[in-house]
Structure 1
Amino acid sequence: MTRGGLCRLLRRDRGSYALETAVLAPALIAILLLMVAFGRVTDAEGAVDSAAHAAARAASLERDASTAQTEAQNAVTRSLDGDGITCQTSNVAIDTSGYATDVGEAATVTATISCTSHLSDIGLPGLPGAKTLTASWTSPIDTYRARQ
């Protein structure tokens, strides 16, 4: 190929990089925003699971059902605040029916947490505005500890 033919070939491609950038940039931005959304949901799922674990554990250490309920609620608040998770709506259910069993019988406390986390601030069209995350954890109550 002659030098003149090479120059003509290179001039024909002029402007193609701008076109490729204009086509690919929105797709790359959308992929980046999806990664951010996925990361936030994964982080929130871990935090809700951790809060359920903390609530069940805190409740299982108490001697009576009403104190167990209070301590479990406090543990959820501390855990979610510590992880920086803000729930639009949340529901915390603590099953303390194990406190009604007799000493010497196996018993458990179960914490179930539901948290709706917002995603609307990411700004990706088609992304839902919120995601509800639910986690449940069961912790044993000491079999030979006095219960009230």
Structure 2
Amino acid sequence: MKIWIRTTATRGSHVIEFVIIAPAVLLIIGVMIVGGHVYYAHQKVEHAAAEAARAASIARPGAAAAPAAEQAAVADMTAQGLVCTDRRINTDVAAFSTDPGTPGTVSVTITCTVDLNVLAIPGISGSRTITHTAISPVDTYRERIR
């Protein structure tokens, strides 16, 4: 049978352990928050690019495809609450200049720079640039007004 005797030599060791472990735990929590913020921003950019590509592919005249894509992308990002400090939307509508019967696609590339300072986590600042390209087919046999 063992009898545990508490000695005064271990007094205060819990405080030292807490002082050592607490910053590491807070850093891990901060990295998880930043990772989640970037992950959700990436999903929002992917969704906006898909919506923009779809809007461009169903535009009737080819000249209206790029403005339709930009309008759909901005509306989707605004509805999702995504704030970009720098946003670029590039639309490739070359498929509209081909003859009917020729398969073609419209691609939209969205580049969004997300500010990490809005998280207000001490020691974590800067920004992250997220880029995604979505492709949508243009109806092969639809009349293509140039």
Q: Give the total of aligned pairs.
A: 144
Matched, 1:32 2:29: yes
Matched with 2:67 is 70
Return the alpha-carbon distance in structure 2 between the equivalents of residues 108 and 121 of structure 1.
Answer: 37
After superposition, the Cα gap between the structure-2 partners of 1:91 and 1:23, relative to the gap in structure 1 and judged at 3 Å, is: same
Q: Which residue does the alignment assign to 2:58?
A: 61
Q: 2:5 aligned with 1:6, yes or no?
A: yes
2:20 aligned residue: 23
Q: TM-score, normalised by structure 1?
A: 0.90
Paired position in structure 1 for 2:84: 87
Cα distance change, pair 13–87 in 1 and its aligned pair in 2 (3 A): same
Calculate the aligned-residue CA RMSD, in Å: 1.8
Supply the distance in 2 between the matched residues of 1:41 and 1:70 (Cα, whole angstroms). Answer: 27
Match of 2:128 in 1: 131
Counterpart AA for 1:131 = R
- Structure 1 segments (4+ residues) deviating >6 Å: none
Give the alignment partner of residue 41 of structure 1, picking from 34, 38, 41: 38
Once the two structures are overlaid, the 10-residue window that deviates more, 80-89 or 30-39, is: 80-89
Q: Distance in 2 between matches of 1:88 and 1:35?
A: 22
Q: What is the percentage of aligned positions where both structures have the same residue?
A: 34
